[in-house]
Amino acid sequence: MITDNLPLISQFISVPKEFGQLNVGAFTAGIIEGILDAAYFQAEVSAHTVEQEGFPLRTVFLVKFDRAVIEREAVRFSK
């Protein structure tokens, strides 16, 4: 998990009422996923808004690595 208490991208985007469930952090999640993929760490990244007192835009990025990556890294570091 990656936590951002004050995501910069959320501060400058206004979500229309008809898109009330839209999480603009999904854009950042896509960037994180692309960087991981380019580094051969295949994963799915999702963004979740988790409001907290003082941080209404707090976003948690959940990173789920592919099983192949976990197995590869386990072999790599088991020596």
List pLDDT tens digits, range 18-77: 887 888 899 999 999 999 999 999 999 999 989 899 998 899 999 999 999 999 999 999
Assigned CATH class of 2-76: alpha beta
Distances from the Cα of 41 to the Cα of 11, 66, 69, 70, 72, angstroms: 29, 8, 6, 9, 10
Q: Return the domain boundaries, the chain.
A: 2-76
Could you tell me the pTM of the whole model? Answer: 0.84
Residue where the block lists tokens 């760490």 = 41
